[in-house]
């Protein structure tokens, strides 16, 4: 989140929330430690998926649905 905020500030040249949001809603990706992230015009994250897993004592994992 912090990388997205700072990128939005840098690209918009502003610290105003409305300006930052406007920049992030353009769909231009933001490079983050999780890979590039982008948002649609409604502010929803585009194409990002993640999984939640239960880890077992033997080192294996099971996806949690």
Q: What is the pLDDT of residue 47?
A: 86
Q: What is the pLDDT of residue 53?
A: 94
Q: Region 31-57: what's the mean pLDDT?
A: 90
Which domain covers residue 6, as residue numbers?
2-63
Specify the pTM.
0.68
**Predicted confidence (pLDDT) per residue in 15-30, tens digit:** 999 999 999 999 899 9
Give me the number of domains the chain comprises. 1
What integer best gives the mean pLDDT of the chain? 93
Which two structure tokens, joined as six digits, stand for 63?
């996806």
In 26-53, which positions are buried (b, 16+ CB within 10 angstroms) versus exposed (e)?
eeeebeeeeeebbbeeeeeeeeeeeeee
28 bridge partner residues = none
């Amino acid at each position: 989140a912090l990388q997205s905020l700072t990128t939005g500030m840098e690209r918009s040249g502003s610290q105003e929330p409305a300006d930052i949001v406007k920049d992030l809603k353009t769909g231009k990706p933001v490079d983050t430690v999780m890979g590039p992230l982008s948002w649609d015009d409604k502010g929803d994250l585009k194409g990002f998926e993640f999984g939640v897993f239960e880890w077992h004592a033997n080192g294996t994992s099971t996806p949690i649905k």
